[in-house]
Amino acid sequence: MESKIIEFKGMPLFQKAKFNPPFVMQGTLENFACFFYMLEGSMLSYDARGVHQISDKEAITKNCGSYVQKYVTSNKSESCEAIAVYLYPELLQEIYKDEVPSFITSENNVAPKKLIGNKLIEQYMNNLVVFFEDPEAIDEELGILKIKELIMILLRSENHENIQTLLSEIFSPVNVKFQDAVQKNIFNPLSIEELAFICNMSLSSFKREFNKVYEETPAKYIKTKRLEHAASLLICNDESISSISYDSGFQDVTTFSDSFQKKYGQSPSKFRLNQIRK
């Protein structure tokens, strides 16, 4: 991974990174948010609210919490390149001063929102790229102006209500319930370790809490739910077995087929055929 960072008072403010996919990254946003824009490539972002996908010239806003991001090539590019703009409470307080309380309008959690076809944001990001080539050209005063410019653009976009809520949540860290985080990711192709990370837990703590809530091990419960989901998809649509395998949370079709055979006593294709005959 190649990365360039522009700092503000010792903290990353703007970051541009280039990846050679497939590439997996884990991280945590503690008491701050991030505006994440894909210059090229495609990304799947998993957090306590579920999965969100963005591709070339698309973006998401992410607030506090742990995440797993998986980068893949898009139809337009063989590499992945992205820009992150970090939004810190102390920085927003400096920018808006007495206006900051006006952002605190809701206590509801809001999932990251995709921004599509926003020419102002695209132009903003193209202008920002120049500073990565010459970091000394941007000082703290200009950095603050660039952050304020981005927020003004976002607050005037079609997602202005969600951005308003996001700004509010920066000052009130998100607390997503354990069961919500599990259920919203149960059919995503994540390992138990990755799911524990998203829930901000060590693997051992996650397993203990899972057993307490579901009275079953994570591996057994999740596998059962994924197989049941796959069985319902086999009945309801005509997608390929590999697509249904992935949509149900399995990372390879061989493991899915073997597990399905053990649970239902027949292969996925035979199961589908028998259901059609019925």
Q: Where are the domains of the chain?
A: 2-170, 178-277
* The CATH fold of domain 2-170: Jelly Rolls (2.60.120)
**pLDDT reading at 264 higher than 60:** yes
Tell me the range of 28-32, 52-56, 215-219, 234-238 where mean pLDDT is highest.
215-219
Residue 217 has a pLDDT of 96
What is the pLDDT averaged over residues 234-249? 92
What is the pLDDT averaged over residues 188-192? 92
Residue 190: what are its φ and ψ, rounded to 5°? -115, 145
Q: Are 189 and 252 in contact (CB under 8 A)?
A: no
Tell me the range of 73-77, 151-155, 193-197 where mean pLDDT is highest.
193-197
Alpha-carbon distances of 252 from 35, 80, 120, 159, 191, rounded to whole Å = 32, 23, 40, 36, 12
Residue 232 has a pLDDT of 94
What is the pLDDT averaged over residues 192-204? 93
The helix-helix angle for 253-264 and 268-277 (nearest 10°) equals: 50
Residue 251 has a pLDDT of 86
Widest Cα–Cα separation across the chain: 70
Q: Are 51 and 44 in contact (CB under 8 A)?
A: yes
Cα atoms found within 13 Å of the Cα of residue 23, Cβ hemisphere only:
18
Q: Are 85 and 150 in contact (CB under 8 A)?
A: yes
Residue 114 has a pLDDT of 60
- Tens-place pLDDT, residues 89-143: 878 777 776 554 444 444 444 454 565 447 888 899 999 999 998 888 888 888 8
Greater model confidence, 30 or 66: 66
**pLDDT reading at 57 higher than 50:** yes
Own/partner pairs for 211-217, CB < 8 Å, 24+ apart? 213/178, 213/179
Gap between the Cα atoms of 148 and 31, Å rounded: 19
Using pLDDT thresholds of 50, 70 and 90, give the confidence band for residue 170: low
Using pLDDT thresholds of 50, 70 and 90, give the confidence band for residue 39: very high
Query: By three-state DSSP, how is residue 207 classified?
Result: helix
Using pLDDT thresholds of 50, 70 and 90, give the confidence band for residue 258: very high
Among candidate residues 122, 180, 193, 199, the one with its CA nearest the CA of residue 153: 122
Right CATH for 178-277 from 1.10.10.60, 2.40.50.100, 3.30.1440.10, 1.10.287.70: 1.10.10.60
Using pLDDT thresholds of 50, 70 and 90, give the confidence band for residue 1: confident
Gap between the Cα atoms of 217 and 207, Å rounded: 7
Q: Are 210 and 127 in contact (CB under 8 A)?
A: no
Residue 171 has a pLDDT of 54
Using pLDDT thresholds of 50, 70 and 90, give the confidence band for residue 248: very high
The rounded mean pLDDT for the chain is 84
